[in-house]
Structure 1
Amino acid sequence: MTLSCGGLTLEVLTVGASVRRLVVDDGDGPLDVVLGYADLALYGADEGYLGATVGRFTNRLDRGRCPLDGVTYTVPANDGQNALHGGPDGWHARPWEVLEEGPDRVVLGLTSPDGDQGLPGEVTARVAYELSPAGVAISHTARTTRPTVLGMTNHAYVDLDGEGSGGVLDHTLEVRAGAYTPVRPDLVPTGEVVPVAGTPFDLRTPRRVGDVLAEDDEQLARAGGLDHNLVLDGAGMRTVARVVGASGRWLEVATDRPGLQVYSGAHFDGGVTGLGGTAYAAHAGLALETQGFPDAPNHPGFPSAVVRPGEQFSAHTTWRLGRR
C-alpha cells in the first residue's frame, strides 16, 4: 500500500504492518529516509525488524519470563536466553489484515490468540498510519480477553541523508530525557533508573551520533553503541526527540509513551542489502522506538505493561519532517 500527502510518500506492507519506504520530496527530488529490505522475503524473517510493528511485548524480557497475577508466563527466547520483541514468532512476522485504506491513511489489524507467544488472552490489535503535509502519525491500539502484558512500537530506522547514504554517524541527536535504564551485559535492564548527567546518554542538547558512540563507556561497549531506553521527560503527547542529518533534513518524534529506545544499528554487518542496492554496514540507520520500559513485568518500579479486559492499550507517535 502506498500513501501520499504533500511531499511525502509512505509504503506499508501487510507483513508485520511494516513501513518499507518513507519518501520525502522537499525540493531536491524524492529521497527515501528509512531503511528497507531489497528482498521482500526478509520482512518477518530477518532479526533487524526493519520498519516492523513489534509485539506483543516490545523489547526484552529476562529469560522470557512474565509474572502476572501470581502466574509466571514464558515467551520463547530468541535473543540468547531472553525474549526480544515478542520472541521468534512475534507480530513482526505475521500477516496483518487491511481494515481501512485511503489515499493518506491505512489501518491494519491482527488477532493474536490466547496463549500466543506464551502469553494469556486473545488480543485484537490495530495499527493506523496517517500522512499529513508535516509528517506521519502512528497509532497502536489493542484489547484483550484476559489480563496480559502489551507493548507495541514501530521499528523503523532513519537515515535522513537518504537510505544507504553511508549511515548516521554525522547526524545530530537530541532527546528530552533526564534519566535512562542501564543494562546488564545481555542488554536486559538492571532495574535501575539513573540520571543521564555525566553519561553518554545525556542528549538533552544536540550531539553528533559518532561522538556519542566514540565515548569510553561500559554501557555503550555492552551494546556496541546505543541500544538503551531513555526515560522521557513529561507526560502526555509531547515532542521527545529531534534528529538532524548532515543535509539539514530533520525528524522530530512526539509520543505519549514513557520511554524511547535509541538504537544505533550496531548489528548491521553488510549482510543485508537495502532498497537502493547498498549493503547496510554498522550504524546504517537510527531507530527511535517509542515504548514502555523493557522488561517491565519483572520490575515493579517500572511503568506497568499490564492490560486487563475492558481496558485499551493505546500508544501514539508522530514523525514530523522538515529541512533547515
Structure 2
Amino acid sequence: MTDDLAARAAIVELGSAPGPVLHLLTLGATMQRLEVACGDGRRRDVLVGLPGARELLGSSDYLGGTIGRYANRIAHGRFELDGEEVSVRTNDRGHSLHAGPDGFDRRLWDVADKDESSATLRLVSPDGDQGFPGEVTAHARFTVEADRVTLDLGATTTRPTVVNMTSHAYFNLDGAGTVDDHLLQVPASSYTPVDEGSIPLGDHAPVDGTPFDLRVARPVGEVVREPHEQVVAARGIDHNLVVDGSGLRRVARLESPRSRTAMEVWSDQPGLQVYTGNFLSGAVLGRSGRLLRPADGIALEPQLHPDSPNHPEWPSATLRPGEAYRARIEWRFSATV
C-alpha cells in the first residue's frame, strides 16, 4: 500500500522567480520545497523536508503535511459531541495526535484546479474515518504571490463532527544548519501548559516570567534551553500560544540574521502551536542529505487550541452540515537590514 501511494503521488509547482517557487506533493497536500529570495541576495529553499513521497510515508514527523481532520491532540482519543461519546484512533501516548495514525497528511489529494500561481487540492474523508463521524470534504488552496504564500483551508461535512486543520511546514530561513539563532516573536499573552502526554492541564496561563513570553523577539536556541519544567518535559517548545486579537492578523515573526530574511505568519486562528522539532531523532535523512535533528527547523502551526473538543469554554471545533470550516495561513517574506 505504501509503495502504491508513493508511486501515485505527483508534484505540483507554483510560482516563478524572482518570487517564491513552491513545490507541493499531492501526498498529504505537502509543502515539500519553497524557494524564496533572501535578504543577502541568495535564493534558498526555506523548508525542511524529505526527498519524496516514499520517505514521507516512512516518517512520523509530519514534514510539510496538511494536517486534518483534527490538528494537535485529543485526550485519550475521546470527546463528547451532542451528548454522545466519540472515540477516535490514538497514536501518541494513548492520545490522538493529528487525527490518528492515518491522517490527511498520509492521503493522496486530488488536484481540483491549477494555474501558474495557485492550486486547489481536494480530499474526501469517509464517515467514520479514524473514528470521526461524518463524510468530510476538505480542500487546501495554495496561492503564490510576489512576497508570500497563502493557504486557504476549508471543509464541509454530512454529519456533526470536529475539524481543525493546519500546515505542519518546518522552516529554516538559512536553508541549512539550525534555527538556534533565528529570532522568534509571537504576540501572545498566554499559553497552554500541558502534562507529560502534551494534554492541556486546564486553562491557559499567562506567559509572564516564562520562556513562552515571546512578545519581544528572542533567539530560538535561548528559549529551548531555559530550565522551565514545561520546556524540560517537552525537550523544547511544543506548546500552544494563545495569540492576542482576532481575525486575520500577524501571529508570528521569524527572522534570520544570517540570511537577512524575515517571515511573518498571518492567520485567523486563535492559537499557534510552536514546535522546535524536539522529536527529530537523527534517524531520517532530509532532502538536504543531512540527518534531521532537533532545531534543524521550526514549525509554526496556526490552529484551534489543543483538545478543544473537551474544552467547551474555548473556540469550538464543531462543524455541522450546512456549515463551512475555513482557515487561512499566510507566510510573508521580506529582507532585513
Length-normalised TM-score, structure 1: 0.97
Distance 2:43 2:214 in 1: 30
Task: Specify every segment of 5 or more residues in structure 1 that has no aligned partner in the other structure, as ranges.
Answer: none
- Among candidates 151, 163, 182, match of residue 138 of structure 1: 151
- Among candidates 112, 121, 124, match of residue 125 of structure 2: 112
Q: Per-residue deviation at 1:187?
A: 0.6
Partner of 2:200: 189
Once the two structures are superposed, what CA deviation does each residue of 1:145-203 show, in whole Å capped at 9, x if it has no partner? 111000000000000011xx211111110001010111001111112111111111000
For residue 23 of structure 2, what is the amino acid of its counterpart? E
Distance 1:216 1:127 in 2: 39
Distance 1:156 1:318 in 2: 12
Distance 1:87 1:322 in 2: 36
For residue 191 of structure 1, what is the amino acid of its counterpart? G
8 Å contact kept, 1:161–1:246: no
- Among candidates 283, 296, 310, match of residue 298 of structure 1: 310
Once the two structures are superposed, what CA deviation does each residue of 1:121-146 show, in whole Å capped at 9, x if it has no partner? 11010000000001100000000011
Partner of 1:59: 72
Partner of 2:331: 319
Partner of 1:170: 181
SS at match of 1:276: coil
SS at match of 1:211: helix
SS at match of 2:47: coil
For residue 319 of structure 1, what is the amino acid of its counterpart? W
8 Å contact kept, 2:25–2:53: no
8 Å contact kept, 2:27–2:53: no
Task: Specify every segment of 5 or more residues in structure 2 that has no aligned partner in the other structure, as ranges.
Answer: 1-11
Distance 1:213 1:292 in 2: 23
Distance 2:298 2:71 in 1: 17
Distance 1:45 1:311 in 2: 35
For residue 266 of structure 2, what is the amino acid of its counterpart? A
For residue 213 of structure 2, what is the amino acid of its counterpart? D
- Paired residues, number: 322
Q: Per-residue deviation at 1:28?
A: 3.2
Once the two structures are superposed, what CA deviation does each residue of 1:251-274 show, in whole Å capped at 9, x if it has no partner? 000000000000000111211111
- Among candidates 83, 89, 107, match of residue 70 of structure 1: 83
Q: Per-residue deviation at 1:40?
A: 2.8
For residue 292 of structure 2, what is the amino acid of its counterpart? Y
Aligned ranges 1:10-29 → 2 under 5 Å: 10-26=22-38, 28-29=41-42
For residue 3 of structure 1, what is the amino acid of its counterpart? L
- Among candidates 103, 108, 121, match of residue 95 of structure 1: 108
Distance 2:84 2:212 in 1: 35
Q: Per-residue deviation at 1:300?
A: 1.7
8 Å contact kept, 1:264–1:287: yes
8 Å contact kept, 1:187–1:222: no
For residue 139 of structure 2, what is the amino acid of its counterpart? R
- Among candidates 216, 223, 239, match of residue 227 of structure 2: 216
Partner of 2:257: 246
Which stretch shifts more, 303-312 or 4-13?
Answer: 4-13
SS at match of 2:105: helix
8 Å contact kept, 2:48–2:170: yes
For residue 49 of structure 1, what is the amino acid of its counterpart? Y
For residue 295 of structure 1, what is the amino acid of its counterpart? D
For residue 2 of structure 1, what is the amino acid of its counterpart? E
Distance 1:17 1:110 in 2: 9
- Among candidates 260, 269, 274, match of residue 262 of structure 1: 274
8 Å contact kept, 1:16–1:44: no
Distance 1:112 1:224 in 2: 34
Distance 2:36 2:147 in 1: 11
Distance 1:97 1:45 in 2: 21
